[in-house]
Amino acid sequence: MIVAYDGTDFHGWQKQVHPDRRYLRTVQDVLEKAVVKVMRQPIILTGASRTDSGVHARGQVVTFDAKNEIPPDKLILGFNSWLPDDVQVRAVDVVDNKFNPINHCTSKGYTYSLAHGCSNPLRKPLFDRHFHAFTAYALDIEKMQEAAKHFLGEHDFAGFTKLNHGRKTTVRRIDTCEVCKTEEWKIIINIAGAGFLWNMVRIIAGTLLEVGRGYTSPDAIPEIIASCDRRRAGKTMPAQGLSLEWVAFDDQLPNKLAISKKPCSEK
């Protein structure tokens, strides 16, 4: 399945149990209940990305095993009839039993949406406030674009994640990192790569914000990355600006509903 959701009222993708033993509202839990209703059998969902609380998705990829053979077009109707308004199954298809959306993932694409210059209250997001972070400062987009190029390639991003990240290695490869103006006083940061650490995209966005404010030079980014020091990178930006746009797989059908992977300079 390709699944989209507004993450505002969710505690992230993955099932979580509160200390009082009640389930928190997560995308996985809500979606599993809808799938079980339609398939009429126990179901366990596997998602390609464990998005955090408040983070959105347009192209989350989710799999499950089922004995019932129901046509995909009927499954779309069935699943969505049981889902709340902030989750939508956008495509369903049958894949090989060996396919795993986590292990077979080759790259993921995220966007971070940001409104700036919001010291003017009329520039602060209103109707799209759940999907844009905002800052009071007017940002220098050209400097941010220059700085973004330094994140490309393979680096140790230990300084761009939480201290207790729980990963064996903090080395990651970034294939795309660019800052694009979408409309007056609004930008998106496009980031794509082989994998990301906990809060990595939000910290990169926070670091680019510091560049846009003039606090950090674009040429300082390589040194900040090499330091592996979390204190040298920018703040962790709010969750509402982040969206998982697409997930790609080697030798697998690409996410047809994903946004274009072309750099904004080519659009």
pLDDT digits (tens, 9 = 90+) for 134-157: 999 999 999 999 999 999 999 999
Tokens of 80: 């969505």
Query: To the nearest whole percent, how much of the chain has pLDDT over 70?
Result: 92
- Other CB atoms within a 10 A radius of the CB of residue 258 amount to 17
In the residue annotation, 52 being an active-site residue is answered as: yes
First to last CA, the chain: 28
Q: How confident is the model at residue 162 (pLDDT cuts 50, 70, 90)?
A: confident
What mean pLDDT is predicted for residues 167-186?
93
- DSSP-based three-state secondary structure for 245: strand
pLDDT band at 258 (very low <50, low <70, confident <90, very high): very low
> Has residue 107 got a pLDDT over 70?
yes
Q: Taking the CA of residue 40 as centre, how many other CA atoms within 13 Å lie in the half-sphere pointing to its CB?
A: 4
Domain 2-91 classification at class level? alpha beta
Question: Pick the catalytic residue: 6, 9, 20, 52?
Answer: 52
Instruction: Kindly list the distances between the CA atom of residue 29 and the CA atoms of 19, 54, 142, 152, 256, in Å, as whole numbers in the listed order.
Output: 17, 15, 42, 35, 25
Check if 2-91 and 106-255 are the same fold.
yes
Do 193 and 174 form a contact (C-beta atoms < 8 A)? yes
Chain mean position to CA 56: 7
Beta bridge mates, 186: 115, 183
The string of pLDDT tens digits covering residues 205-222 is: 999 999 999 999 999 999
Tokens for 111, please give them.
């966007």
Q: Is the pLDDT of residue 261 over 70?
A: no
**Measuring CA to CA, which residue among 233, 243, 224 is closest to residue 155?**
224
pTM of the model: 0.91
What pLDDT does 19 receive?
Answer: 74
The string of pLDDT tens digits covering residues 56-83 is 999 999 999 988 788 999 999 999 999 9
pLDDT value of residue 21 = 67
Give the start-to-end residue ranges of the domains of the chain.
Answer: 2-91, 106-255
Q: Which option is the CATH number for 106-255: 3.40.50.300, 3.30.70.660, 3.30.300.30, 3.10.450.50?
A: 3.30.70.660
pLDDT of 18 > 90? The answer is no
